[in-house]
Amino acid sequence: MLALLLLSTGAVASVPSLNQCPDMVFTDSMEVDSIPSNGNGGGFPGNFTRTITVGNDDHTFYYYIPSSYQPAEPMPMMVLWSGAVNAGGGPAAAQDMIDYWQPTAETHDFIIVSQAIIGSQNCDPCGWVPASDLNILDFILSDMDSRYNLENTRKYVWGFSAGGFVQHENALSHADYYAAYAISGAHLGYANSVGTFPSSASRKLPVYLSVGQHDGHHAAALSDVSTFTADGWRLNHNIWFDNFVGGHQLPNDVPGKAWEKICISTNLE
């Protein structure tokens, strides 16, 4: 657990990138707890498209490197998963998620990576296929680790709708890997159906939940807050519920609000 030092004393974070978090008053110590990936060779700054081979298939993903990136300084990263798409719409949806999060990533100095839905054969609409898509994500994470200097204590994930359902399960199942996560327009239904619950997580990683009051998933997402708190999470401490006026949609302010809450989290906590 991190020991208390106030910013006014001139202390710096033991994970240096934490100093970039908005409105930061944090607990910390003087030792260096940063775990850099020490990757190199990737282009910066700007938007990039990358294709990797997983098994016998090529898979394309999209990412953004902020203008503040310097290879000698490890930077946090967030993975983005879109909602379901019409057949063939995965690449466009993945790029839309980059566009949606880019202003926040640029302002607050973190890398964003967006994976494209492939879907099952002959799907329309197409959703995520957890077994194969999470395997692809593992390759994407390894690829980014090798080409950029990432802060391994500060990797985050966010998902909307179909992407949010799967990322609930992914984050809770890999609570020692991710620092924190955020979910929009989804609930714990899929995670619970495959035997993953907040109570089964290895640590109480912070989570930001966002759902419209007129979203069909609102009641279930609200119930999730009770599930988390019953399992030891504390409301407005390591779980936040953004109950906005609207439906199944993505308000423009969600990235900024989510990042403000989860930014100070590391997987060391």
Residue 16 pLDDT exceeds 50 = yes
pLDDT for the residue 122: 85
Q: Which two tokens stand for residue 84?
A: 């379901």
Question: How many angstroms separate the Cα of 169 from the Cα of each of 149, 188, 232?
Answer: 27, 8, 18
Domain that holds residue 183: 36-262
pLDDT for the residue 66: 98
Q: How far is C-alpha 38 from the geometric centre of its chain's CA atoms?
A: 21
Asked whether residue 14 is domain-assigned, the answer is no
pLDDT for the residue 6: 29
Asked whether residue 22 is domain-assigned, the answer is no
Task: Find the CATH number of the domain harbouring 139.
Answer: 3.40.50.1820
How many domains does the structure of the chain reveal?
1
Cα–Cα nearest to 188, from 171, 213, 204, 205: 171
- How far is Cα 206 from Cα 198, in angstroms, rounded to an integer? 11
Asked whether residue 142 is domain-assigned, the answer is yes
Residue 12 confidence class, pLDDT cut points 50, 70, 90: very low
Per residue in 194-242, pLDDT tens? Answer: 999 999 999 999 999 999 999 999 999 999 999 999 999 999 999 999 9
Asked whether residue 93 is domain-assigned, the answer is yes
